[in-house]
Structure 1
Amino acid sequence: MSTPARPEDVDEICAGLPETELGTSWGDVPTWKVPRGEKGRGFVLYRPPGKTAVDPATGEPYEDLVVIITPTEVEKDALVADESTPFFTIDHFTGFAAVLVQQSRLGEISREELAEIITDAWATRAPKKLVREHLGD
């Protein structure tokens, strides 16, 4: 039986990938980047509440959003379209290859699924040589 994903799995998975660091982007947004240092590119970020991402049921801004980069918009659309997953997008992200997920809903997918999606995000932003060393060709 697979283990449901938990909010703390996001940091554990990100930290377990090669050459990653938790830094900031878009001002002071906590962001997992690859590679470490000034050339790092964000692949997972903790989005602060904002008026572009509100719960349609309550009208309140989401408090616990994680943004995960996807390799292309095809993967983004597949994740968003799959009603068995908690991933979604917002108008603000039209044309941007990334999905959003509430940390409170991560248990709707397995830790393995989350690790696969985060690893794809990492591979999208990591230097090609690093990806080959870690994942093979």
Structure 2
Amino acid sequence: MASWEDVRRIALALPETTERGSYDGLPAWRVRDKPFVWERPLRGADLAALGAAAPDGPLLGVRVPDLGVKEALLADDPSVYLTTPHFEGYPAVLVRLDRIGVPELIEVITEAWYARAPKRLAAAHRARQESADG
């Protein structure tokens, strides 16, 4: 399954990505200063809301393009993707790193990057990827 080193490697391979601690000092990856993935442990309110269903492994916060994508991920694999009341109405999910494979993690992080990258940067990256895939 995936590790924090996988997250770091995948995120930093994307154009103009930087790693900088979030407001609570935990790792976060940004494109032009917009966070797209970050370490997000559960907090007290999260634990209270989730109760016995609260996971105990490492969690990655991931920005998604919109609430429809969020709902689709949550419905598709609730053993990997979850949310808390803190993220209600916000286009982000939590990913259980100990339950996601690296290929799926690459896809999730890349889509998060596209959701936050400026349009021209995203279009240029997509064009480079398409020509490389040839």
Q: TM-score w.r.t. structure 1 length?
A: 0.79
Unaligned ranges ≥5, structure 2:
none
Aligned to 1:112: 103
Match of 2:31 among 24, 31, 34: 34
Looking at structure 2, the residues matched to 16 and 41 of structure 1 have their Cα atoms a distance apart, in angstroms, of: 16
Q: CA deviation at 1:24?
A: 2.1
> Residue type of the partner of 1:87?
Y
1:15 matched to 2:12: yes
Aligned to 2:123: 132
Q: Aligned pair in 2 of structure 1 residues 112, 103: CA closer, same or farther (>3 Å)?
A: closer
> Residue type of the partner of 1:99?
V
Percent identical among aligned pairs is 38
Q: TM-score w.r.t. structure 2 length?
A: 0.81
Q: Which runs of 4+ in 1 moved over 6 A?
A: none
Q: CA deviation at 1:48?
A: 3.5
Unaligned ranges ≥5, structure 1:
none
> Residue type of the partner of 2:2?
R
Looking at structure 1, the residues matched to 25 and 113 of structure 2 have their Cα atoms a distance apart, in angstroms, of: 20
Looking at structure 2, the residues matched to 49 and 77 of structure 1 have their Cα atoms a distance apart, in angstroms, of: 20
Looking at structure 1, the residues matched to 27 and 77 of structure 2 have their Cα atoms a distance apart, in angstroms, of: 28
Secondary structure of the structure 2 residue equivalent to 1:32: strand
Match of 1:76 among 54, 70, 73: 70
Higher helix share: 2
Q: CA deviation at 1:111?
A: 2.0
